[in-house]
Amino acid sequence: MSPRRPNRPSGPFPSLDEPEHRVKFVEAGLADPRCTLDRSALERMATTPAPRRTVVQRKPNQVGVTMKDQHSQAGRLRVHTGAEPPDEAETGQTGARSAELRSALDGIRNIRYLTNLGSDPGARPAEWEQRRLLRTVSLLLEAEGLPPSAVDRAGEPARTGYRTSEGDQAGQVQVRWVGPRGSGARYQEHEQLQRCQAVLRSWGFETVEVRGPGGRRYLEVEARLG
């Protein structure tokens, strides 16, 4: 439990500046079956001013509802890995899809704020994202304007774009730039993978560009929580 800091703003509940009150707050949250936060997250809620009024005004027994809202917002959207049929991948170009992606990004930001510790909780992935790494990486790439690829009935690339897949190791995702024969995707891949890398690094993910069989490039992506 962090000691009281005399010159910092009060947390969401001023009385929780007192250590004994913070202990009671955390223990009550852990005992409430509706609360989905762990001890570290509850301690953060008790000691850090929240930037959004909706978070500040929550009572201790309503914290679980807030987290469930953010999980639903970020977790229910169908993501595109680039291995879907063309008609599904093309839905990413609609206005409704863009709005859904923005909403999902807001959900990820809020999950980070509610669960990460430190002075900048939004700068690195949350554990929730690490458990859904393929989904999160795919969502971020599309939401930041990179087009997903698609596959035809034979399983071959039907459009040029990113393709995400599980990595060779647990907790790792691979990102490739693929396209139909004659599309020139091979010659675009270095530049386009750099774009993918910039997006993912801006969200706090670790990425490395690798040369695979035949000299084709791809990214290895991991989420470091430390």
Digit-coded pLDDT (tens) for 101-146: 999 999 999 999 999 998 999 999 999 999 999 999 999 999 999 9
Q: Are residues 95 and 196 in the same domain?
A: yes
Instruction: Judge if 170 and 144 occupy the same domain.
Output: yes
Q: Is residue 67 part of a domain?
A: no
Query: In sequence order, what E strands does the chain have?
Result: 150-151, 157-159, 161-166, 172-178, 206-211, 217-222
Identify whether residues 25 and 118 lie together within a single domain.
no
pTM (two decimals)? 0.67
Q: Identify the residue with better confidence: 139 or 224.
A: 139
What percentage of the chain has pLDDT greater than the value 90?
55
Containing domain of residue 41, as a range? 1-60
pLDDT at 132: 95
- Per-residue pLDDT for 31 more than 80? no
> Does the residue 143 lie in any domain?
yes
Are the beta carbons of 199 and 189 closer than 8 angstroms? no
Number of domains into which the chain is organized: 2
Q: Which of 66, 69, 94, 70 is nearest to 80 (CA)?
A: 94
